[in-house]
Amino acid sequence: MLKVTDLSITLGSITALRGLNFAIRPGETLGIVGESGSGKSITALAIMGLLPKVMRASGRIELEGNDLLALDESALCRSRGRRMAMIFQEPMTALNPVMPIGAQIAEGLVLHGIMSRHEAAEEAIRLVGRVGLPDPAARAHSYPHELSGGQRQRAMIAMAIACRPALLIADEPTSALDVTVQAEILALLKEVREETGMAMLFISHDLAVISKLAENTLVLYGGAAMEMGETHALLAAPRHPYTRGLIAAIPSGNAHNTRLNPIRGHVPELAKLPPGCPFHGRCPLGDERCRIERPAPDIAETTAWCHHAGAHAPLAPLGVTS
């Protein structure tokens, strides 16, 4: 359904994303996890065709068989919102403050010629109710500032699913919300995915959140894929040192006296990355070969882009207790 082949993104001489490959089938969710600067958000923007003008994308992004990177702007506009939709992190600022939310939800339906203005207004009210806002007819006339953060994110979801897109991209949809609200929004996303059978690309810096929703997970670091595979396999037996580090850094809810294990060092600047594995500088197993030579995918239970994945595989999830 969505097939990304050898996607690279450059900003001048800087490579922000190198040679990414993945695919999502209808009704499936792929989680992309990574720190800020790992390239997860620009991957989403590249699929939507909304990269800042200064960035260049190469490779192929096929949605239902069409290469999006080859489409012109007007064809992209026809797909955006209709075939693929996106939810953003910041529900506070992602909604237009001077437009009632009902109108913002109906807008896409009318512009894509799916419904008349009148029908779209009614559909917007139905959607407001569908995403769980109370008293939908009245809420549809509310302005964003009259809603709470969670309610706004619900409105964003209503807006994104309005045209029944084949692909929904959710870029950190819960990161700005309270923990209890987070769970509700995740449950809602799960519901609508099952209802509509759409594919979902779920982006988060939080592996724990991703594990609740995604069948498959892709771990990104420094603009390159580290490890990809079924989520449960990746969590149970991570083969890449970075994935292990990420799992070790998740606080486990029941153990008060366990120490958290942060990954040592800092995210390096993209401009200063060596040709090899971007993680080698912080990697406990990193050596000279890692610095110079780009690792080939090592396919086993999961696919790991690591020179040491074969030798040490599978590594047990370290560091939860020690």
- For position 6 contacting other proteins by CB under 8 A, the verdict is no
Measure the CA–CA gap between 204 and 23, rounded to whole angstroms: 18
CB of 63 to other proteins, least distance (A): 13
- For position 85 contacting other proteins by CB under 8 A, the verdict is yes
- For position 145 contacting other proteins by CB under 8 A, the verdict is yes
**b/e per residue 235-251 (b: at least 16 CB within 10 A):** bebbbbbbbbbbbbebe
- What residues contact residue 114 under an 8 Å CB cut-off, 6+ apart? 82, 120, 163
Measure the CA–CA gap between 210 and 31, rounded to whole angstroms: 6
* 22 or 143: CB nearest other proteins: 143
* 45 or 208: CB nearest other proteins: 45
Residues 25 and 64: beta-carbon distance below 8 Å: no
Measure the CA–CA gap between 52 and 50, rounded to whole angstroms: 6
- For position 96 contacting other proteins by CB under 8 A, the verdict is yes
Range in contact with other proteins (rule: CB under 8 A) among 15-23, 95-103, 252-260, 277-285: 95-103
CA–chain centroid gap for 73, Å, is 23
User: Per this entry, what is the length of the chain?
Assistant: 322
Measure the CA–CA gap between 10 and 243, rounded to whole angstroms: 25
* 156 or 247: CB nearest other proteins: 156
Burial classification of residue 129, based on how many CB atoms lie within 10 Å of its CB (0-12 exposed, 13-18 middle, 19 or more buried)? middle
- For position 141 contacting other proteins by CB under 8 A, the verdict is no
Range in contact with other proteins (rule: CB under 8 A) among 79-87, 122-130, 194-202, 254-262: 79-87
CB of 101 to other proteins, least distance (A): 11
User: Among residues 58, 93, 148, 252, which is the contact residue for other proteins, using CB under 8 A?
Assistant: 93
Give residues 208-247 in contact with other proteins (rule: CB under 8 A).
none
- For position 94 contacting other proteins by CB under 8 A, the verdict is yes
Measure the CA–CA gap between 315 and 285, rounded to whole angstroms: 12
Measure the CA–CA gap between 202 and 254, rounded to whole angstroms: 26
Residues 218 and 183: beta-carbon distance below 8 Å: no
Measure the CA–CA gap between 297 and 272, rounded to whole angstroms: 23
CB of 56 to other proteins, least distance (A): 18
- For position 138 contacting other proteins by CB under 8 A, the verdict is no
User: Among residues 11, 69, 77, 250, which is the contact residue for other proteins, using CB under 8 A?
Assistant: 77
- For position 82 contacting other proteins by CB under 8 A, the verdict is yes
- For position 130 contacting other proteins by CB under 8 A, the verdict is no
- For position 148 contacting other proteins by CB under 8 A, the verdict is no
If binding means CB under 8 A, how many residues of this protein chain bind other proteins? Answer: 32
Number of other CB atoms surrounding residue 195 within 10 Å: 11
* Residue ranges that bind other proteins, judged by CB under 8 A: 48, 50, 73-74, 77-82, 85-86, 88, 90, 93-99, 107-108, 111-112, 143, 145-146, 156, 159-160, 163
